A and B are shown apart, each in its own frame.
Chain A
Amino acid sequence: MADYRVVGKGIPRKDSIEKITGQAKYTFDIVLPEMLHAKILRSLHAHAKIANIDTSEAEKLPGVKAVITGKDTWGMRFGFVDTPRYPCEQPVIAEDKVRFIGESVAAVAAVDENTANEALDLIEIEYEPIPAVFDPEEAMKEGAPQIHGEQIPAPGRKCAWQDWGVARVARSYNPVNNIGATVNLSYGDSEKGFAEAEYIREDTWVIPRTNHTAMEPHGAVASYNPLTGYLDVWLSHMGYELKRYWISKTLGIPISKIRVHKTFIGGAFGGKAQVFDHEIIASFLSRKTGKPVKLILPRDEVFTSTNNSIALKINVKKGVKKDGTIVGQHVKLISDMGAYRGSVPVCLFLCHSMRDAIYNIPNLTHDGVGAYTNKSTTMAKRGHGSQQMTTAIESQMDWIAEDLGLDPVEFRLKNLRQKGDVLPNRDTLNSYGLPDCIKKIVEASNWKEKRGKLGPGRGIGLAVSAMFNGSGYWPFTAGSIVRMNHDGTVTLYIGQAEFGQGPTTTTCQLVAEELGLNVEDVNLVDGDSELCPIDYSNWLSGGMFVSCKAGLVAAQDLRQQILKVAAEMLEEDVEDLEAMNRRVYIKTDPEEGVAFDEILRYSIQKHAGDLLMGKGFCKPVPEIEFYPSLSKGSGRWTDAYSFTASIAEVSVDAETGRTKVDHIWIGDDCGREINTAICEGQLQSQAVMGMGDALFEEVMFSEGRTINANFVDYEIPRAFDIPEITTIDASDPDPNGPFGAKEIGECARAAVIGSIVNAVYDATKVKITSLPLHPEKIFRGLKEKAKS
C-alpha cells in the first residue's frame, strides 16, 4: 500500500471547535433583524376537497403580517423527480383538494411564533371529505378513489429536464388507477432460467416506512430584499444547487439571485435532499412581506409532512441449480408512494441497480410499480432501495442455502461477480472488494464455530450489500477552487453539504496530501452557493467519488502551476521537483528549494500577476449527457460500486420474543479510507441505524394519520442499546477514486439489517417476512413452531 502522510489518518474534524463549543450555527440558530416567524396549517383530512378557506380573522390578529393559501401559490409544482416521463405534481400549498394528512393548506408569518400559531387557529376551512385509499394494492384496483383526477403536468408547465435542455416535452396525462411510476427491466430470459433451475423458491417481504429522524428538524430562514431582488436563504439541506433551482423555478426568482448561505446541518440521511413546501413557503412569505422569515418544523411535522423512507412489498422468485448456481430471478415490487411521487421512480430502479453489482444472475426480470396513496411522500434514506432489497434477497439466500444443504457463505461466494466484470448496463467493476469483505469478517467473527452451533435462542447471520458512487444527473457537476495564499498556505473552496458525514475534512486531507501540506495549512470555505463553485454536493451518493474528488483535481491543477513556476526559479525540470511543507525542492538535492510564498511572489512579479489558483471539476459518468433511463434500466448508471458484508450475532428471548444484538462485524470496501476515524464513525453509525431498522423502527398509520410522530412512540436506538461493533477495512482501491477512495456513508446499513434478520432466523428458525422484527412477531412465530 502506498505510503501517505495525511490520507489514511484518523485526524480530528475541521469543524471540531464550532461543534463542541456551541458556536456552530444551524438554520434554527439564525436570527436576522426584524425577522418574522412562520407556521404552516396542515390538513387533518387524508382526502378532501377544499370548498372554502376564510383567512379574514387570522389576518386581523395583531402581529400577523401575511396569510397565504393555495390561491397565492396556485399552479406552482415541485418534486424530487421532474422528467418528461414523470413531471412533478406536488403543489406548494394544497389548491382545490388535499391528498394526505399533514399537507400544507395555509401559512402565516407573524411577529412571533405564538402569534403565528394563534393565527392558524383562526383560519376557517370547509372540507368536503372524499373516500381515501391507504393501501397501494387497493389503490390500483378499478374503482378506487383517484388521488390525481386532473392532468399532470399542469397545462403549460415545463418540467425541469426541459429547462435543462432535454428536447422531449412532458406528455400530459391523467394517472390511471393511481399508478405513478413503473420500472420494467430485464436481461437474459428469466423464464428460461427457471426452466433450467433444479430448485425454485418464491418469498414476499413487506418493508415499512421508517423516518430519517435527523436530530435537526427541517427548517428555513429566508430573506428577500425587494430593492435588489436578491433572496438569501439558510436551509437544512444536502446540496445547494438543487434547492435553489427549485426555489427559482417555483417563485420565478433568477437562480443567480438566490444565495444559499453556509449553515451547519444537523444530519440528513437522504431526508433533506429534495426541496420542501416549507422552504418555498418561507421564501414566498419573505418576498410578500419584505422581511426575513424563519420557519422551523416541529418534530411531528417532520414525521407527517416532509418524507419517510420508501415502503415496499417485494416478491422474489429465484431459480437455482442444486450446486448453488443461481440461474434466474424475477423481482416484483409494489411501492406505497404516498400522495406524490417523491423518489419512488428512482428507488424502483435502484432496487435492481444496488444489487446488480453483487451476484451474477444470467437471467433476470425486475418489475416495479408505485401507487399513489393518501399518505405523505416517500424518499431516499441512506442506501436508497438497497436496504429493502437486501433484506428480501439476503434472507432468501439463507433459506435457499438451508433447503439445498449449502453453506451460506460458500453459496454467496459461488455466485459473486468478479473484479473487471461488465454489468449488463455496461457499468464496469474496476474495483470489487466484496469477496475480501466476506472472508475477513467470517474469520474475525469465528463464523464457522458459531453458525448453527450457538445453542437455543442465539444465532449468527451474514448479509452483503453494494452502493453506487454518484450518477449522471444534469446539470449537477461538482467544482472546486484551491488558491495559494501569501503565507504559502492554501484555501479550498468547495460546495459540500457537511451534514456530519465529514466530506469537508476529508477533502482538506486530499488537498493537503496532493500539495505536501498539513491539514492545518488548508483553509476551508464551504457550503455557500455564492462563495463556492457549482456543486451538486452530497445527495446522489457521490460525496467522496465526485465532490471530494473535484477538490483533489483542483489541488492537482494548483500543484502543476506551483511546480512550473518553481522549475523556472530553480532552473530545473518539473519532473525533478517535489512539493513538501510549503516548499518545492529538488528531489536529488532536498536542501535546494523555494518556499510556496516565494513562488507566489515570483509568479505575481514575473507572470503578469498570475496568483496561482487551481480549478477542479468532476462529473460522474461523463458519457451520460442528461440522465440515464431508469424505467428501462438500459444505460450506464455509475462509475464504481462500494461493498459491505455484515455479520450479526444475536440473542432472542423466547419468553418475550425480544432480540438483543450482541455483536456486529462489518467488512467494508470503500476503496481507501481517507480519514480512518470518520470512516469508522460512518460504519458504526450504520450498524446502529440498521439495528433500529431491523428491530423496531416503523412509521405507523391509522387511516392515513401518523400515530407515532414523536421520539417517545417512534423509538430509535439509544446509548444503552448498542452492541459490540467491529469494523474491518477490506478496501479495493478504485482507479477512478481519489487515492482510490469510494463511498462509505450508505452501503453498510443494508447489510447490517440483512445480517440481523438472518441471525434471528438462525436463532429461532422462524421465517418472518416483514420488518421490523417486533418481539410480537417472533413470539407468535415461536409459539406456532412449538405447536407444530
Chain B
Amino acid sequence: MELAKKLIKVAVNGESRELWIKQNITLLDLLRDYLGLTGAKLACISNSCGACTVIVDDMAVKSCSVLAMQVDGKEVFTVEGLAKGKKLHPLQQAFIEHVAFQCGFCTPGKLMSAKALLDENPNPTEEELRRDMEGNLCRCTGYKKYIEAIMDVAQHPEKYSAKEG
C-alpha cells in the first residue's frame, strides 16, 4: 500500500528545500532520485561499505541506512557541495595531488568521512584517521595514498588553502 507523502524541510549543501517525499525512501534515494545528486553511491545496502557517506549536521552518516524523514529540519552536506566555484576543497586538492583514488566510485564517501573527521578533529593521528575511516571500504587503492592525502591536509593545511582548481 502506498504511504501518504510527507513534507520535509532540509538544507542540502546550504540551500533550503521543501520536498514532498514518500515516507519509506532513504536519504540516499532523496539525494539521488529527488535531487539528482549522484555523487553518493549505493554499493552494499547493508550499512557496511561507506560509499554512500554524506554529512548530516556535522556527522558522517551512511545515507543508505538513514530514512529521508530523519533529516527533516537538518543540514545535509554532500560531495557536490565541497568545491566552491573554482575553488576545490583542500581534501579534493590533496586527493588529486596524491593520486589518492583509482576507480573513484567510493571517493565521494571517503571525502565526506574525512571532512567530518577533520572538522571535528583537525589534527588526528594516523591511527585515529585509519580507525575513523574503517567504515569506508576501498578495493582499488590499498588505502595508503588517501590516508596520506588526508594526513597531509591535517598537517599542512597551508599547502591547500589558497589554491584554485
Whether chains A and B associate is yes
Determine whether the beta carbon of A500 is less than 8 Å from that of B134. Answer: no
Contact digits for B61-80, partner A, Cβ 8 Å, 1 yes 0 no:
00000000000000000111
Q: Which of A17, A269, A684 contacts B165 (CB 8 A)?
A: A17
- The SS class assigned to the B binding surface is loop
| Chain B residues, Cβ within 8 Å of A296 | 42
B96 touches A216 (CB 8 A): no
A711, closest chain B residue (CB): B48
Report Cα–Cα, A15/B96, bound state, in Å.
10
654-711 of chain A: CB within 8 A of chain B: 675, 677-678, 680-681, 684-689, 710-711
| B136-A719 in contact (CB<8A) | yes
Contact B92 A267 (CB under 8 A): no
CA gap between A19 and B39 in the complex, in Å = 9
Q: Interface segment, A20-28, A319-327, A351-359, A439-447?
A: A20-28
State whether the Cβ of A501 lies closer than 8 Å to any Cβ in chain B. yes
Residues in B whose Cβ lies below 8 Å from that of A718: 134, 137, 143
Q: Of A20, A678, A686, A717, which one neighbours B111 at CB under 8 angstroms?
A: A20
Highest count of chain B CB atoms <10 Å: which of A31, A214, A267, A298: A267
- Chain B residues in 8 Å Cβ range of A710: 44, 46, 48
Q: Shortest distance in angstroms between A376's beta carbon and chain B's nearest beta carbon?
A: 19
Tell which of A677, A681, A684, A716 has the most Cβ of chain B within 10 Å: A681
B49 is an interface residue with CB less than 8 A from chain A = yes
> Could you tell me if B141 and A689 are in contact, using CB atoms closer than 8 angstroms?
no
Q: Does A164 contact B (CB under 8 A)?
A: no
**A264 — nearest CB in chain B belongs to which residue?**
B104
Is B103 part of the binding interface, using a Cβ–Cβ cutoff of 8 Å?
yes
* Interchain CB contact under 8 A, A267 and B105: yes
- Expressed in whole angstroms, the minimum distance between the Cβ of A251 and any Cβ of chain B is 28
Contacts A20-B88, A22-B38; A265 near B103 (Cβ below 8 A): yes
Please tell me if A70 contacts chain B, counting CB pairs below 8 Å: no
Instruction: Let me know if A499 is at the binding interface, CB within 8 A.
Output: yes
B30 within 8 A of A: no
Is A215 in contact with B142, judged by CB distance below 8 angstroms?
Answer: no
Check A711–B44 contact: CB distance below 8 A: yes
Q: Which residue of B lies closest to A216 (CB)?
A: B105
CB nearest to B104 among chain A residues? A19
Q: Are A719 and B130 in contact (CB under 8 A)?
A: yes
Closest to B102 in A: A500
Whether A677 and B99, one on each chain, are in contact in the complex, defined by CB atoms closer than 8 angstroms, is yes
B43: chain A residues at CB < 8 Å are 215-217, 266, 299
Interfacial chain B residues near A684, Cβ < 8 Å? 141-145
Decide if B97 touches A267 in the complex (CB within 8 Å). no
Complex: chain B residue closest to A501, CB-CB: B102
On whether A22 and B142 interact (CB within 8 A), knowing A215-B51, A711-B137, the answer reads: no
Contacts of A681 in B (CB 8 A): 99, 102, 140-142, 145
Residues 1-19 of A, flagged 1 when their CB comes within 8 A of B and 0 if not, give: 0000000001011011111
Q: Which residue of A lies closest to B79 (CB)?
A: A22
Chain A residues closer than 8 Å to B10, beta-carbon distance? none
Chain B residue with Cβ nearest A299: B44
| Other-chain residue from A20, A24, A502, A716 in contact with B102 (beta carbon distance below 8 A) | A502
Instruction: Let me know if A266 and B103 touch, CB within 8 A.
Output: yes
Measured CB to CB, the closest approach of chain B to A338, in angstroms, equals 22
- Interface size grouping (class) on chain B: 35 or more
Which of chain B's residues have a CB closer than 8 A to the CB of A24?
A: 104
Contact present for A216 and B103 (CB under 8 Å)? yes
| Inter-chain contact A298/B45, CB cutoff 8 Å | yes
- Cα(A712)–Cα(B47), bound, Å: 9
Return chain A residues, CB-CB under 8 Å to B104: 15, 18-20, 24, 264, 266, 500
Interface assignment of B41: CB less than 8 Å from any CB of chain A: yes
Which of these, A28, A31, A675, A711, contacts B49 with CB under 8 Å? A711
Query: Shortest distance in angstroms between B5's beta carbon and chain A's nearest beta carbon?
Result: 15
Task: Annotate B15-34 by CB proximity to A: 1 below 8 A, 0 otherwise.
Answer: 00000000000000000100
A32 to chain B, nearest CB (A): 13
Residue of A nearest to B46 (CB): A710
B39 near A22 with CB under 8 A, answer: yes
Interface of A is mostly: loop
Mark interface residues in B100-126 (1 if CB within 8 Å of A CB, else 0): 011111111001000000000000000
In the complex, which of the residues B82, B107, B142 contacts A688, with contact meaning CB atoms closer than 8 Å?
A: B142
Q: Is the CB of A722 within 8 A of B144?
A: yes
CA distance A500 to B141 in the complex (A): 9
How many angstroms between the C-alpha atoms of A299 and B42 in the bound complex? Answer: 9
Asked whether A685 and B102 contact (CB < 8 A) given A719-B147, A720-B134, the answer is yes
Which residues of chain B have C-beta atoms less than 8 A from A216's C-beta? 41, 43, 103, 105
Bound CA–CA A595/B43 (angstroms): 49
A20-B137 in contact (CB<8A): no
Given contacts A28-B42, A711-B46, A712-B46, contact A22 B108 (CB under 8 A): yes
Q: Is A725 an interface residue, CB under 8 A from the partner?
A: yes
Which chain A residues lie closer than 8 Å to B48 at the CB level?
710-712
Find chain B residues with CB under 8 A from A117 CB: none
Q: Are A215 and B138 in contact (CB under 8 A)?
A: yes
Tell me the complex Cα distance, A718–B141, Å: 11
Cα distance, A680 to B122, chains bound together (Å)? 28
Does the CB pair B136–A12 fall under 8 Å?
Answer: no
Q: Select one of B139, B141, B144 contacting A213, CB under 8 A.
A: B139
Q: Which residues of A contact B59 (CB under 8 A)?
A: none
Set A22, A267, A720: member contacting B140, Cβ < 8 A:
A267
Min CB distance, B103 to chain A, in Å?
3
Q: Is B99's CB under 8 angstroms from A500's CB?
A: no
Pairwise interchain contact B140-A500, C-beta atoms closer than 8 A:
yes
Alpha-carbon distance between A587 and B2 when the two chains are bound, in angstroms = 76
Tell me if A266 and B105 are in contact (CB < 8 A): yes
Rounded to whole angstroms, the CA-CA distance of A268 and B80 in the bound complex is 25
What are the residues of chain A within 8 A of B165 when measuring CB–CB?
17
What CA separation (Å) do A25 and B99 show in the bound complex?
19
Across the interface, do B140 and A685 meet the contact criterion of CB distance under 8 Å? yes
Give B88 Cβ to nearest chain A Cβ, in Å.
7
- Whole-angstrom distance between the alpha carbons of A501 and B44 in the complex? 22
Contact status B108-A720, CB under 8 Å: no
Question: Across the interface, which residues of A come within 8 angstroms of B101, CB to CB?
Answer: 13, 19-20, 500
- A29 proximal to B (CB < 8 A): yes
- Which residue of A is nearest B133, CB measured? A719
Judge whether A689 and B142 touch: CB under 8 Å. yes
Q: Is B156 interfacial (CB-CB < 8 Å)?
A: no
Q: B143: which of A22, A500, A680, A688 is its contact (CB, 8 Å)?
A: A688
Whether A19 touches B144, Cβ cut-off 8 Å, given contacts A29-B38, A214-B139, A502-B102, is: no
Q: Mark A191-214, 1 if CB is under 8 A from B, else 0.
A: 000000000000000000000111
Chain B residues with Cβ under 8 A from A16's Cβ? 95-96
Q: Tell me, in angstroms, the Cα distance from A20 to B48 when the chains sit together.
A: 21
Are A22 and B78 within 8 A (Cβ)? yes
- Please measure, in the bound complex, the distance between the C-alpha atom of A722 and the C-alpha atom of B143, giving whole angstroms: 7
Chain A: CB-nearest residue to B136: A719
Distance to closest chain A CB from B48 (angstroms): 4
Is A215 in contact with B105, judged by CB distance below 8 angstroms? Answer: yes
Interface presence of B11 (CB below 8 A): no
Q: Enumerate chain B residues within 8 angstroms of A214, measured Cβ to Cβ.
A: 103, 105, 139
Nearest-Cβ distance from residue A673 to partner chain B, whole angstroms: 13
Knowing A12-B99, A22-B37, say if A215 contacts B140 (CB, 8 Å).
yes
17 contacts between A and B (CB under 8 A): A13-B99, A15-B104, A16-B96, A20-B101, A23-B39, A25-B38, A31-B36, A215-B106, A265-B103, A299-B43, A681-B141, A681-B142, A684-B142, A684-B144, A685-B140, A685-B142, A710-B44
Q: A22-B108, A687-B142, A719-B134 are in contact. List 11 more A-B contacts (CB 8 A).
A: A13-B99, A28-B38, A215-B106, A266-B104, A267-B140, A677-B98, A688-B143, A710-B48, A711-B49, A716-B139, A719-B133
| A interface residues (Cβ-Cβ under 8 A, vs B) | 10, 12-13, 15-26, 28-29, 31, 212-217, 264-267, 269, 296, 298-299, 499-502, 675, 677-678, 680-681, 684-689, 710-712, 716-720, 722, 725
Q: Top 3 nearest A-B pairs by Cβ distance?
A: A22-B39, A266-B105, A500-B103
| Interface of B toward A, CB cutoff 8 Å | 32, 36-46, 48-49, 51, 78-80, 82-83, 88, 92, 95-99, 101-108, 111, 129-131, 133-134, 136-145, 147, 165
